[in-house]
């Protein structure tokens, strides 16, 4: 199941990034994105999704080698984002990932519901770590 979810995230990465971008650009709590190009907006989000793919396959016991959240935080500080906007972006990414898996769960092999729950928990743990590392890098840069 872990491999299937990782594969689904990999094949759906463009959709995930596009859906996330739509959420960010329409969210009233994020204003700093208005002055960014599309490439600047997506920043390290595709790489964060790739790190998540690897983390899901490794499982909850292994600490992922995450660096993209740190770079995302530093980049957003350089772009003039407020910290609350950076955190909001990542919470929208979490929501986008969960919504994507819900939408395409029919593409996953049938398995025990607790396996899917464990994967959702892994996504939440991963995103918590990403938010922490992003905020830490943002604060270190300021």
The tokens describing 122, both together, are 């892994």
Could you tell me the CA-to-CA distances from 61 to 37, 87, 125, 126, 129 in Å, in that order?
38, 25, 11, 12, 14
Mean pLDDT score across all residues of the chain = 88
| Mean per-residue pLDDT, 51-65 | 70
d(CA 83, CA 119): 28
Helix (H) or strand (E) holding 2: helix 2-11
At 84-121, the pLDDT tens digits run 999 999 999 999 999 998 898 888 777 666 777 888 88
pTM, two decimals, is 0.89
Q: Is 83 in a helix, a strand, or coil?
A: helix
Are the CB atoms for 70 and 138 separated by under 8 Å?
no
Are the CB atoms for 96 and 23 separated by under 8 Å?
yes
* In the chain, % of residues over pLDDT 90: 58
61: pLDDT strictly greater than 50? no
């Amino acid at each position: 199941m872990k491999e299937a979810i990782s594969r689904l995230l990999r094949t759906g990465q463009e959709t995930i990034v596009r859906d996330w971008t739509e959420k960010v650009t329409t969210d009233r709590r994020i204003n700093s994105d208005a002055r960014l190009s599309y490439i600047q907006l997506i920043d390290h989000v595709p790489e964060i999704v790739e790190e998540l793919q690897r983390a899901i396959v490794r499982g909850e016991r292994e600490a992922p080698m995450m660096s993209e959240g740190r770079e995302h935080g530093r980049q957003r500080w350089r772009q003039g984002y407020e910290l609350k906007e950076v955190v909001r972006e990542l919470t929208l990414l979490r929501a986008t990932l969960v919504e994507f898996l819900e939408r395409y769960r029919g593409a996953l092999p049938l398995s025990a519901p607790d396996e899917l729950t464990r994967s959702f928990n892994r996504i939440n743990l991963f995103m918590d770590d990403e938010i922490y590392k992003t905020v830490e890098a943002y604060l270190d840069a300021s």
